[in-house]
Amino acid sequence: MLDIRPIPAFADNYIWMIVLPDGGAVVVDPGDATPVINSLQSLNLHLTAVLLTHHHGDHNGGISQLGDWAKSNGQSFTVYGAVTSDYSDVPCRDGDTVNISGLTSPVRVLSVPGHTLDHLAFVVDNALFCGDTLFSGGCGRLFEGDARQLYDSLAKLASLPDNTEVYCAHEYTLSNLKFALAVEPQNQCLKDYLKQVNTLREANKPSLPSTLGTEKAINPFLRVDKETVNAAVAAHAGQKVTDEVSCLALLRRWKDNF
């Protein structure tokens, strides 16, 4: 089992850290260097690698400072990111596998455009680090890509095993579930999950990770093939939903203004 720990950052980001048996650490999307450095120092770890899902500042903004800190401590780390990223020591493409010292399994790379065009996801054992493409109960906004790209990306993630643990980059779960309930108010799995998440958040615990099996049952953006979601979207938009991509596009527009 991987030892994966959340490092809270900014208002609602999680920087995920995989603690390695050899005293190293792999960090995902270090938007802020300070909490990462504090965590590394408190656990007496050295930074081995950074996995970078996309180019937004709350995900990559701490890399330069981390590099300076590592250099001052006689350390170095490798950044794995998109081919378009200036930070990437190892440019990654869809379908790549990379081996990181201290990890017993290779890291699988998935291209998942939509939120941004360069967005990657990383799969390590049964852990999915999906940045801002998939959230628990939701998905990322379409800043650069289109609905077809996002649909294909979410389908790619949904094709992973149901027990895959979902480590997304933001604590958006409660607000996402409020929207999901507006779409599917009779979804009992969704109502049960909301109770679980409320309990966790009231105890100031992360709602994450979720699992893909859970997301397929409660996340409307993974359920655009369901009649309940289609009917709700059509009623809200006041127009017929012709296919799953148009359903996703209208659903995302609804969420943007929710």
- Is there a catalytic annotation at residue 56? yes
- The model's pLDDT over 197-228, given as tens digits with 9 standing for 90+, comes to 999 999 999 999 999 999 999 999 999 999 99
- Is there a catalytic annotation at residue 146? no
- Is there a catalytic annotation at residue 115? yes
The one catalytic residue among 29, 59, 118, 119 = 59
Is there a cis peptide before residue 209, judged by omega within 30 degrees of 0?
yes
Burial grade of 150 (CB within 10 A; 0-12, 13-18, 19 or more): buried
Query: Considering the chain, what is the average pLDDT of its residues?
Result: 97
- Is there a catalytic annotation at residue 46? no
The residue extents of the domains of the chain are 3-256
Contact between residue 253 and residue 246 where contact means Cβ atoms under 8 Å apart: no
> How far is Cα 136 from Cα 166, in angstroms, rounded to an integer?
8
- Number of Cβ atoms within 10 Å of the Cβ of 6: 17
CATH of the domain spanning 3-256: 3.60.15.10
The one catalytic residue among 29, 55, 119, 170 = 170
- The model's pLDDT over 46-91, given as tens digits with 9 standing for 90+, comes to 999 999 999 999 999 999 999 999 999 999 999 999 999 999 999 9
CA angle at 111 for the pair 109 and 112, rounded to the nearest 5°: 125
> How far is Cα 89 from Cα 81, in angstroms, rounded to an integer?
8
